[in-house]
Amino acid sequence: MTQLAPTAEIAAQPSDTRRNLVGLDREGLAEALAPFGVEGFRLRQLWQWIYHRGATDFEQMSSLSKAVRATLADYFVIGRPMVSMHQQSTDGTQKWLLRFPDGKEVESVHIPETDRGTLCVSSQVGCTLTCKFCHTGTQRWVRNLEAPEIVGQVMLARDAFGEWPAPEHDRSLTNIVLMGMGEPLYNYDNVARAMRIVMDGEGLGISKRRITLSTAGVVPMIGQVGAELGVNLAISLHAVRDELRNELVPINRKYPLEQLMQACRDYPGLSNARRITFEYVMLKGVNDSLADAQAMVQLLKGIPAKINLIPFNPWPGSVFECSSNNAIRRFADYLSEQNMSAPIRHARGQDIMAACGQLKSESEKLRASERRKAAEAAAS
Ligand code: SAH
């Protein structure tokens, strides 16, 4: 693993009272700029400068007059989240720990694959769900991310790959998964606002077909995601019986499997070409028996589905163990015999604690130990 120096520190400093334009949607931008006479065609140009060309300085905006550029720079910035740590795994996975002006931090992770590059984006600082096998779930709940803080994660990754404007072919950043820290459907308005900017053809230009929103099962919000955003849906399933799922994914007590499955069946735009992904973490002796696989086939009957079998990623203090390779194989084989697509996901970025369910706390710990070291060095 490599520890890299922070890449971008152009974030507005806490003392800087200028407003950040990044994360404003078209209406928001229009409202902010109307007092400066930037509207219509000019407004559209500004939108493209920010979201299509990635400009971070008004001086770059050669299509705007010098006077307008100078005025805008007095009142606004085009900022990025501050990078407080950037690590690269031996497998090419990168992780950024981002810090916002209030000191709160989240992580985003980029996973390169042969045919795509996926950015895993966080939607909240911490999480309220307390899923038993998830590291993020052990942390104190902190706050929702604002739309600009979500869009900022994507823009920062584009910066890192120099993809402004994004090339036609061989992009490093092609896909987005809302699978980082937090429950996106407990922060729907900000997530939706951010995704509209990300999907805008004159903006970041990432198609809804390449965006996947993952939820532990906030049933009343699921239909809205399909109707309003039309992105792909992933469900963190992890258990196929209510009794067990109540324990592993406590939100199941509020929205049990039957309701969740109904919401999946009703998901707008569902077809064989457009399936729901079910994430299933393999926990030794807990949910990995053949009986579980059989129950899963029954449960998902009639739903165009793809199952991601995720070997459990351990973290310090976790009470679970990962299923044996044999158990995972047997589970996967049974599902494919039943004509279900059930690939086994290989953990990426484990050496930098960037794999599923490992986000945030380790970096915090690392930072604490770094701080201690620095304090010791200063004292001696
Ligand atoms: N709250 C949303 C978004 C987070 S997605 C959701 O639950 O879907 C993060 C994914 O990683 C979820 O599927 C989660 O269940 C899975 N995960 C959490 N801890 C894990 C671990 N220790 N090993 C493997 N996967 C884990």
Domains in the chain (CATH in brackets) are 23-77 (1.10.150.530), 82-369 (3.20.20.70)
Ligand 1 within 6 A of CB of 58 = no
Give me the half-sphere count of Cα atoms (radius 13 Å) on the Cβ side of residue 54: 21
Q: Measured from the CB, is residue 279 less than 6 Å from ligand 1?
A: yes
Cα separation, 110 vs 228, in Å, equals 26
Tell me, what's the pLDDT at 138?
Answer: 80
Name 96's bridge partners.
86, 108
pLDDT at residue number 377: 60
Which of 107, 120, 133, 222 best tests ligand 1's pocket when mutated (most atoms within 8 Å of CB)? 133
pTM, 2 dp = 0.91
Q: Are 209 and 245 in contact (CB under 8 A)?
A: no
Q: Are 19 and 11 in contact (CB under 8 A)?
A: no
Question: pLDDT at position 180, please?
Answer: 93
Residue spans of beta strands (DSSP E) within the chain: 2-4, 19-20, 76-77, 82-88, 94-99, 105-112, 117-120, 124-125, 143-144, 175-178, 211-215, 232-236, 276-282, 305-311
Cα 63 to averaged position of ligand 1 atoms, centre (Å) = 45
Question: Can you give the length of the chain in residues?
Answer: 380
* Residue whose CA is at the smallest distance from ligand 1 atom 12: 236
Give the helix/strand (H/E) hosting 102.
Answer: none
CA 269 – CA 96 distance, rounded (Å): 33
Task: Write down the pLDDT at residue 366.
Answer: 56
- Collect all residues with Cβ–Cβ distance below 8 Å to 169 and sequence separation of at least 6: none
Cis peptide leading into 165, omega within 30 of 0? yes
pLDDT score for 174: 97
Q: Look at residue 275 and give its three-state secondary structure.
A: coil
Q: In the prediction, which pLDDT does 307 show?
A: 98
Identify the residue whose C-alpha is closest to ligand 1 atom 24. Answer: 312
Question: 78 near 56, Cβ under 8 Å?
Answer: yes
Q: Give the orientation angle of helix 40-51 with respect to helix 26-33, to 10 degrees.
A: 120
Residue nearest to atom 20 of ligand 1 (CA): 357
Q: Which residues of the chain have pLDDT under 70?
A: 1-15, 359-380
**Nearest-CA neighbor of 239 among 164, 292, 173?**
292
* Nearest protein CA to atom 5 of ligand 1, as residue: 179
| pLDDT score recorded for residue 12 | 47
CA–CA separation, 332 and 340 (whole Å):
9
Helix then strand then coil, % of the chain, to nearest 5: 40, 20, 45
Atom from ligand 1 closest to the CA of residue 127: 1
130: left (phi over 0), alpha (psi -120 to 50) or beta: left
Handedness of CA 51, 56, 61, 65 (dihedral sign): positive
The per-residue pLDDT for 222 is 98
Catalytic residues: 107, 356
Round to whole Å and give the CA distance between 236 and 356.
Answer: 11
Q: How far is CA 261 from the centre of its chain?
A: 23
Contact 341, 309 (CB under 8 A): no
